[in-house]
Amino acid sequence: AQPAKLLVLPGDGIGPEVMREVGRVISWLEKNRGIAFEITEDLVGGASLAEYGEPIRNEVIEKARAADAVLFGSVGDPRRGHVGFDKRPEVAILKLRQELELFANLRPAKVFDALVDASTLKPDVVRGLDIMIVRETVGGIYFGDPRGIETLPDGTRRGINTEVYTTPEIERVARVAFEMARKRSGHVCSVEKCNVMESGLLWKEVVTDLHAREFSDVKLTHMLADNCAMQLVRNPRQFDVIVTGNLFGDILSDLASMLTGSLGMLPSATLGAVRADGKCAALYEPIHGSAPDIAGQGIANPIAQILSFAMLLRYSLNLQDEAKMVEEAVSRVLESGLRTADIMSEGMARVGTSVMGEAIVREL
């Protein structure tokens, strides 16, 4: 078999140190499961800005295009201070999404039994929580034109952004959500603000039509974005799959993650369209940020990055067994009582990044 071609982009802050732990898992899989990887690593975000004067080079985009999957760390480095809007580290991830047409961001919010007390919500409210948010990531107000800041003749300045969604953009991401729901509890909740935004009205119509045409076996409900934020706090377990646009998805998926109380545990995948070679472009990243405040101290939790790699095994390489092995190793390590600082609680054993990584490999 051809080796699996991965592009690894550790990025800024804790990115490189949590990515190192994925390296251990990769070595283990090579040695013990006979899986061949061909790995290229490169710079993105603040790290790339420092070296090349831009948050991501076209060359890196091309490497991403050529890879079977991209494993991304995190970007953002406040120590670099004010850089122009075009040079900010976030451009790296935004460009990768857009250039590779990575349109469906899958963000699970799952409460691990061993960590139910880490949540600020009462255990009875979040125990067993398992939500999948499917967020559209190449459209909406993030990329619509016109955009910018203009100065009017009288000196007043105007900031403008445009939310645009077309029928096919909505359909393709809704399709991912419906298919996902079929493998889960069979319920999709579509979220917009159709009571004030026409783009939300179109969103709702397109999702409703697609449902009637192809997915009537799945239960479909609709919810306004403000109500969804409330319901996620009031009774989050009412949700199975949530599908929504770029901006609402950004906010609601972060909110849902925080319900678990353990951001350092949560992976994500962003999938693109099927390419000419029959594969689809995909990028995997932890949902936590670059956490510059704790970078370099060896205390960051590597689990979200490792679980992102498990998602990569499952979705991009179709290695279901290996994905499961990694996920179960993580669960067992947690049950054994090891904790990084972010998920530490009384009576557990506090460990650093590399001890956690080693423990997971040992469980494999």
Ligand X SMILES: CC(C)[C@H](C(=O)O)[C@@H](O)C(=O)O
The answer to whether 337 is a known ligand-binding residue is: no
Q: Is 212 exposed, middle or buried (0-12, 13-18, 19+ CB in 10 A)?
A: exposed
Contact with a second copy (CB under 8 A) among 120, 128, 183, 278: 120
* Residue 142 is a catalytic residue: yes
The answer to whether 242 is a known ligand-binding residue is: no
Q: Is 2 one of the binding residues for a second copy (CB under 8 A)? A: no
Are 290 and 281 in contact, with CB atoms under 8 Å apart?
A: no
Q: How far apart are CA 215 and CA 218, in angstroms?
A: 6
Contact with ligand X (CB under 6 A) among 93, 96, 280, 351: 93
Total residues in contact with a second copy, by rule CB under 8 A: 59
As given in the structure block, the two tokens for residue 251 are 């906010």
Contact with a second copy (CB under 8 A) among 39, 197, 341, 364: 197
270 sits in which H/E element = strand 267-274
3-state SS, residue 220: strand
Determine the interface stretch with a second copy among 46-54, 158-166, 328-336, 343-351 (rule: CB under 8 A): 158-166
* Residue 277 is a catalytic residue: no
* Residue 226 is a catalytic residue: yes
Determine the interface stretch with ligand X among 86-94, 166-174, 296-304, 339-347 (rule: CB under 6 A): 86-94
* Residue 193 is a catalytic residue: yes
What does DSSP assign to residue 15? H
Contact with a second copy (CB under 8 A) among 50, 196, 273, 349: 196
Q: Is 82 one of the binding residues for a second copy (CB under 8 A)? A: no
The answer to whether 107 is a known ligand-binding residue is: yes
Q: How far apart are CA 40 and CA 8, in angstroms?
A: 6
Contact with a second copy (CB under 8 A) among 36, 50, 66, 233: 233
Residue 157 binding partner per list ligand X, a second copy, none, with a CB distance cut-off of 5 to 8 Å that depends on partner kind: a second copy
Are 359 and 338 in contact, with CB atoms under 8 Å apart?
A: yes
Provide the minimum distance between the beta carbon of 115 and ligand X in the complex, in angstroms, as a whole number: 22
Provide the minimum distance between the beta carbon of 133 and ligand X in the complex, in angstroms, as a whole number: 11
Determine the interface stretch with a second copy among 95-103, 199-207, 314-322, 354-362 (rule: CB under 8 A): 199-207
Q: Is 230 one of the binding residues for ligand X (CB under 6 A)? A: no
Q: Is 198 one of the binding residues for ligand X (CB under 6 A)? A: no
User: What is the rounded end-to-end Cα distance, in angstroms, of the chain?
Assistant: 23
For residue 39, the number of C-alpha atoms closer than 13 Å in the C-beta half-sphere is: 16
Contact with a second copy (CB under 8 A) among 62, 66, 122, 212: 122
Count CB neighbours of 290 within 10 A.
Answer: 25
Which is it for the CA torsion 71, 74, 80, 86, positive or negative? Answer: positive
Q: How far apart are CA 354 and CA 302, in angstroms?
A: 8
Q: Is 226 one of the binding residues for ligand X (CB under 6 A)? A: yes
Residue 103 binding partner per list a second copy, ligand X, none, with a CB distance cut-off of 5 to 8 Å that depends on partner kind: none
Strand partners, 284: 71, 269
Q: Is 36 one of the binding residues for a second copy (CB under 8 A)? A: no
Residue 2 binding partner per list ligand X, a second copy, none, with a CB distance cut-off of 5 to 8 Å that depends on partner kind: none
Q: What's the order of all strands across the beta sheet hosting 130-136?
A: 37-41, 4-11, 69-74, 280-286, 267-274, 102-110, 130-136, 241-244, 187-192, 219-224
Determine the interface stretch with ligand X among 26-34, 87-95, 171-179, 322-330 (rule: CB under 6 A): 87-95
Are 351 and 339 in contact, with CB atoms under 8 Å apart?
A: yes
Q: Which residues belong to the active site? A: 142, 193, 226, 250, 254
